Structure 1
Amino acid sequence: MRRSADVDELERVLCAALGSAEPVCSVAQLLPEADTFGAPGPSALDPAALKRPTLVAAGAPYGPTGPAPSPYAVDELVRRAGALDVPQILVPRVRRGEDTGALRAAGFVPVAAGHECVVRLSGEVDALLRDRVGAGQLRDLRRRHRAVSQDVTWERIPLSELDGKPWARRAFVELHQRSAERHRGQENLYNAEALDALARGALAERTEIFVRRRKNAVVQAGLLTVSHNGRGLYYLTQAVAHDDPAAPRNLYVASLYRLYLHARRSGLDWVHLGEGDADRMRRLGADLFVPLDHWLRAPAPAAARDRAAPGDGERERERAGQGERAAEERAPSRFAAPPVATVPAPGPVRFRHRPRFDLVDLSSNTNPYLGTASHYPELDTAELARTYLSTLAKLPGHEGVGALSTDHLLFTSGAVDGVMALLMALTSPGERVCVTPPTFELYAHFAHVLRLPVVEAPLRGDDLCGLDTERILAADARVTLLCDPGNPVGTRLDRARVRELVERSRGLVVIDEAYVEFSETPSYAGLTGEHDNLIVLRTLSKAWGLASARCGVALAHPGIIEALRRVQVPFGFTNASQRAVRNRLTNSRPVLAAVRRIRAERDHMAATLAQHPAVERVFPSEANFLLVRLHEHERVMDHLRGAGILVADTARLVPGTCRLSIGTRRANNALLAALSSVGTGPGSPGPAGPGRAR
């Protein structure tokens, strides 16, 4: 919980559970996952630390996370431990990205602790879950809910009324005691004393006990607490009767679904599920995953003390793939423009790893009376970045992507936003930008807007895919922009020449891979971890079918990503776009199937158009479009417009051509029919289009 009064209250409850005046116990007693603390790796701890008497800070063992302690609070913890003669201190479940400088300075060591998982309720529950987990998983949730609800009741009892329901109190304590016994000696934090302390304290007015009964037997009991900002619900705990026919998974899943319905009807925005496995919780509807660390101050071994030096633990976790450094700690690339290198990231960007869902946010000057649309978009997209990278790594031709961390990725408002951002962040007045026409026109357009000289190194060969490496290198450009597959042609560049350019160039090489999913030639995305002068731009507008979501991706060295953050508009990636991207990435089968259909339709159209009398040439393509040279370009284009068919006129880039996007079979047949009615030879008048004079 995010305010000190709640944290202090939960500490009082913890003391009641332990039967002591101070929250002192062993780590192994307190946390069920404690046996993993000694696993090999950078955060491995002395096994003796698991059994040593430990002063436990705050009440975070109960589920919700508290804020990272201030320097004053850390000093007070150290003082208390000394007065109690307790050799070890544990600050459990601190959100990664919070200011942990005081903990480091006092010798605390971070230990990865998984994620806290949140279900954000942005609309009708079934529609939301269908998009988030898929229709099949939603059917399973609803089936379990119906099966359980047939003979198991659902009751919520305010803690203030618990004295009048002794059966509920008794059942809650008994079920949690059995749960603790199944966890091999874990302390029961929800014994009778703890429950009574909670019912007598300040949290009682916001907390309910829920019970589910089959006839007169209680088969599940748990606690729900409304957040102090009134916007969400903490699912503090639950225990089930494992000998019940519906236990354990059916009861848990059915109760979660019931809880979502209850929270939405109550006008709440989110349900906090506590700590859990991100993949499992995602299947249950969670869409916000905040990485956590336990922080431990132990007297030994020396290796642990060495790791507590500022920055060391963070770098070790980064190498181990366990987390990312906070934005304010990262230095920009050597390629950053001097003004960008000397200014900090804007305030909202610096704090992007600090979720606001459970805070009273009075910092943003927005209208509080018009619902969730008045809230600024979430800036912490680390979990979404992990989802993107893991999805990409599974696709053919994406070797090396799995080795990238979220520090290598920035979401942009479409790939074109990435082009503008990188030119702003990585160039200075007078530095050259090299483009390779025919290519995407906005590259040169943005460069001209920023008053950067543009040098051209035209593509060569009949297929317009020959890269003039020597001419590009001779230009000595600060930034070279390549489009691969090319737009408007659709061909791929020679891979050996591209790699040679990256390795020999003194400047930055940017590869726009907007159409790469339609190609069988590998992506360059994985190489961004090997070259600090390589930037790969991707988009979800094309193959992923999310043009309206405006989501682009920049992949590059972390220092380059940091430079881009410093010039990017902080809130350009909306919550609606984030939800659409997350849902699409976690349900990629339809995307891959659609890509296969587009490839097949592209090949069919290429073969058909190549035989058409109105077409002079069809260029080879590894994209979702075809570049076609027409015999009578202007007359054909005029006829297509009259037939209500819109294609891209690319004659100014490649004389006599147009670019045809691959549509559905019906749309493609309409195009072929319109072309067939143009006429078959030079000078043919062709039939009049609809509505035109004869």
Structure 2
Amino acid sequence: MTFDLDALLRPNIRQLKPYTSARDEFQGRARIYLDANENPFDDSPFHRYPDPHHTDLRQKISSLIDLPADHIFLGSGSDEAIDLLIRAFCTPGEHSILTCPPTYGMYEVQANIHDVGIQQVLLTPEFQLDEPAILQALRPFTRIIFLCSPNNPTGNLLSRTSIKRLLEAFHGIVVVDEAYVDFADQPGLTDLLTTQPNLVLLRTFSKAWGLAGLRVGMALANPSIINVLYRIKLPYNLSQAAQSYLYTALDSHKAINQRINLIRTERRRVAQQLSSLPNVLQVYPSDANFLLVRFIDPQSTYRHLLSNGIVVRDRSRQPLCEGCLRITIGTPAENDQLLQALAEI
């Protein structure tokens, strides 16, 4: 199906004249800066406004993920990209998004904030996409499909073939949230960006990179979509502190890969030992840094863990997740304490 970006954009966004900051109008190097009404005294390293285009940081990320810098948007967590995508492509009270529960809750929350409709098609019992049901649910007012792979809270990768078929059949935007893809045994979908102009991938530095407190996420897409996101974001959405810290942290990618491998090893160990416990009904396969586990009595299990100072996430009220707790993989020592506490039940 032909992809027409201009036809999908809200008319006011298409015609928007974006705000231009002082750092938009002048992007070079100067000896004296008297254009942005900043405090001229450099008592702090943050007395100047940060780069609103994240130029150096995007270029460095580009070299790590083998994707041109103009395919990269940086925001305050991937949540900012979710917000901006809905803002750009969905007219309040007129358009809708489609989600596949159980899934990450922010897609629905952001749609509600923008008064955008929500269509839901449950995953199959195997936590895969129900392609026929999704295609049947699509309407002319459906603008964005939000998918999560590896999925939160189930932990599994969604079928690449199913995602590709949806991309080819749908006239709107397909967003695949790959926040946990670094922990998967298969690569993400960046290779599809060159052939699928309606694909947007979401990534974050909060999980594998261990920088949740920094609040930096990415949207990866064709340059026309990235340009839209940069036009409508807040002028200085990433602080200089965040940009500088992340720029330096990116040099530690080898150490990060070692930690990812450790988490994968611990994921297998914890899953194996959980499966042997009498109060565990099922441990679902995971490509993420957590496990979805079905217990005989999840509420009493949750309370018992809490009494031992261990907090997990109760997901038993989510569709298809009845009786399930979501358990993040911790350090080996933390995982040992978890398993010991569960063995006491």
TM norm structure 2: 0.92
Partner of 1:596: 261
Is 1:340 aligned to 2:18, yes or no?
A: no
Of 561, 573, 579, which residue of structure 1 is paired with 2:238? 573
What amino acid is the match of 2:111?
A: A
Q: Give deviations 1:501-556, integer Å, cap 9, x for gaps.
A: 00110111000000001112221123222222110111111111111111101111
Q: Is the 8 A contact 1:425 1:566 kept in 2?
A: no
Q: Is the 8 A contact 1:352 1:379 kept in 2?
A: no
Of 55, 58, 62, which residue of structure 2 is paired with 1:385? 58
Partner of 1:99: none
CA displacement at 1:335 relative to structure 2? 2.8
Distance 1:529 1:366 in 2: 44
Distance 1:634 1:357 in 2: 62
- Within a 5 Å distance, the mapping from 1:438-477 to structure 2 comes to 438-461=102-125, 463-464=126-127, 466-474=128-136, 475-476=138-139, 477=142
Partner of 1:437: 101
- Within a 5 Å distance, the mapping from 1:231-380 to structure 2 comes to 333-348=6-21, 351=24, 354-355=27-28, 358-364=31-37, 366=39, 368=41, 370-380=43-53
Of 264, 270, 287, which residue of structure 2 is paired with 1:622? 287
CA displacement at 1:357 relative to structure 2? 6.3
Of 164, 171, 181, which residue of structure 2 is paired with 1:506? 171
Partner of 2:205: 540
Q: Give deviations 1:227-282, integer Å, cap 9, x for gaps.
A: xxxxxxxxxxxxxxxxxxxxxxxxxxxxxxxxxxxxxxxxxxxxxxxxxxxxxxxx
1:572/1:357 CA distance change after superposition, 3 Å: farther
Distance 2:337 2:316 in 1: 22
Of 628, 638, 641, which residue of structure 1 is paired with 2:306? 641
Q: Is the 8 A contact 1:354 1:380 kept in 2?
A: no
Distance 2:45 2:116 in 1: 41
Partner of 1:296: none
1:353/1:677 CA distance change after superposition, 3 Å: farther
Is 1:665 aligned to 2:332, yes or no?
A: yes
1:369/1:531 CA distance change after superposition, 3 Å: same
What amino acid is the match of 1:390?
A: S
CA displacement at 1:677 relative to structure 2? 1.7
What amino acid is the match of 2:59?
A: R
Larger radius of gyration: 1
Of 71, 84, 91, which residue of structure 2 is paired with 1:428? 91
Q: Is the 8 A contact 1:519 1:623 kept in 2?
A: yes
What amino acid is the match of 2:300?
A: R
- Within a 5 Å distance, the mapping from 1:157-196 to structure 2 comes to none
Structure 1 runs, 4 residues or longer, greater than 3 Å off: 355-359, 364-370
Distance 2:100 2:117 in 1: 14
Partner of 1:632: 297
CA displacement at 1:361 relative to structure 2? 3.1
CA displacement at 1:614 relative to structure 2? 2.1
Structure 1 portions without partners, runs of 5+: 1-331, 394-400, 679-694
Q: Which structure is richer in relative contact order (CA contacts within 8 A, separation 6 or more)?
A: 2
1:580/1:379 CA distance change after superposition, 3 Å: same
What amino acid is the match of 1:422?
A: L
Is 1:558 aligned to 2:226, yes or no?
A: no
TM norm structure 1: 0.47
CA displacement at 1:336 relative to structure 2? 2.2
Is 1:418 aligned to 2:105, yes or no?
A: no
What amino acid is the match of 1:431?
A: H
- Within a 5 Å distance, the mapping from 1:397-408 to structure 2 comes to 401=67, 405-408=68-71
Is 1:675 aligned to 2:338, yes or no?
A: no
Distance 2:191 2:242 in 1: 25
CA displacement at 1:362 relative to structure 2? 4.0
Q: How many residues align?
A: 335
User: Tell me, what secondary structure is at the counterpart of 1:445?
Assistant: helix
1:359/1:615 CA distance change after superposition, 3 Å: farther
